[in-house]
Amino acid sequence: MTVRRMAIALIGAALGVVSSVAQAQGTAGAWPARPIHLVIPFSAGGGNDIVARVIASKMSESLGQPIIIDNKPGGQGIIAVEFVQRSAPDGYTVLVGPSGPMTGNPATYKRLPYQTLRDFTPVTMIGSFPLVLVVNSSLPVRSVQELVEYAKERPNAVNYGSTAALFQLTSELFNQKTGTRFAHIPYKSSGDFVNAVLSNEITIAFADPPPASGPIKAGRLRALAITASQRHPAWDLPTMGEAGVSDMGFNIWMGLFVPVATPAPVVKRIRDDLVKAINLPDVRERFAALGVDPSGMPGEEFAKIIAADIVRWTQVAKVANIASD
């Protein structure tokens, strides 16, 4: 290559970098110029939907644009996640990504159309919470040990509900640890399987707090324990360990994700506005009532948690022999 050609090539490369930076800055400066779609992998009424609607109204005020809730249930959350994966990386399509689709699916599916940390930029964690083991209040059990005895006496007549892989993994882990044989019944949202417990369609559910907290307070559901390593201030309940079931201490989470090529200034703006929203007193009060601990951590820190969770749930799935095509 001649010196002249090399100079032209270097100038062209430099102009390309300047153009890319200007485009990113321009995107951030103009963003958002139209409504934002917040995609939820489950139907309305579930925990993710409830929390998303709480933050959407506040973020909409801050961003100056409407936030449209877009429920896309089905396929263990894969339909919604793949939809966002294939969307333009411009910040106008944002995924409410729960632990299940983002860490449970990679642990259980042999072939998955996405890889969480390859195809998405984690914006921030919205919040985390333990799952709550619930039964219908009419069921004649008042503790985990009584539930185990009840199930062992009726091995072919007990079942559980789940939506995403993580609910199934938790329930199957419970089967492993207790020697019970609760059968799996799939639903489109945690709101749906909470309703199924209320109608005695299913025996138990490891539910996320938002859809379960109301029926628990009303006395229609009985909560037996939480999946946390320590007692939680929102729940006057024993941990699974205290209830006699070891190695079931964990929280699950929900976060915001965008396609991987979304400009960094736009990602930062989304996180900044989410943090602003969850720090509002009425939002924190609402989160507390739902049993959700607000987060807002930086995306880099969130990514480390995601990577560790994928490893953890992959090990659980292997022991439980859970694998989907």
Q: Which residues contact 325 (CB under 8 A, 6 or more apart)?
A: 109, 110, 111
- For the chain, give every residue range classified as CATH 3.40.190.150: 34-128+252-320
Mean pLDDT of all residues belonging to the chain: 89
Do 118 and 303 meet the contact criterion of CB atoms below 8 Å apart?
no
d(CA 12, CA 238): 64
CA 104 vs CA 83, 220, 234, 248, 313: distances in Å: 18, 30, 25, 15, 6
Q: To 10 degrees, the CA torsion angle through 211, 96, 251, 221?
A: 10
Q: What is the CA radius of gyration of the chain?
A: 22
pTM of the model: 0.80
Tell me the average confidence (pLDDT) per consecutive run of 10 residues in the chain, 325 residues long.
42 40 50 97 88 95 96 92 98 96 93 96 96 97 98 97 88 93 91 96 94 94 95 92 93 96 97 97 92 94 96 87 81
Q: To 10 degrees, the CA torsion angle through 205, 209, 215, 220?
A: 40
Do 283 and 45 meet the contact criterion of CB atoms below 8 Å apart?
no
**Which residue bears the tokens 């489950």?**
42
Strand pairing report for 183-186 and 204-207: unpaired
d(CA 224, CA 267): 40
Which pLDDT belongs to residue 155? 95
Q: Which residues contact 140 (CB under 8 A, 6 or more apart)?
A: 146, 150
Q: What is the pLDDT of residues 98-118, one digit of tens each?
A: 999 999 999 999 899 999 999
**Which residue bears the tokens 């159309």?**
113
Which pLDDT belongs to residue 322? 84
d(CA 194, CA 171): 14
d(CA 315, CA 169): 11
Q: Which two tokens stand for residue 320?
A: 């439980």
Residue 112: helix, strand or coil by DSSP? coil
CATH number of 34-128+252-320: 3.40.190.150
Q: Which two tokens stand for residue 35?
A: 């409504």
CATH number of 132-226: 3.40.190.10
Q: DSSP code of 44?
A: T
Q: To 10 degrees, the CA torsion angle through 107, 112, 115, 116?
A: -60
Q: Which residues contact 20 (CB under 8 A, 6 or more apart)?
A: none
- For the chain, give every residue range classified as CATH 3.40.190.10: 132-226
* Beta strand extents in 30-119 (DSSP E only): 36-40, 67-71, 93-98
Q: To 10 degrees, the CA torsion angle through 27, 32, 33, 39?
A: 110
Phi, psi for 218 (deg, rounded to 5): -80, -5
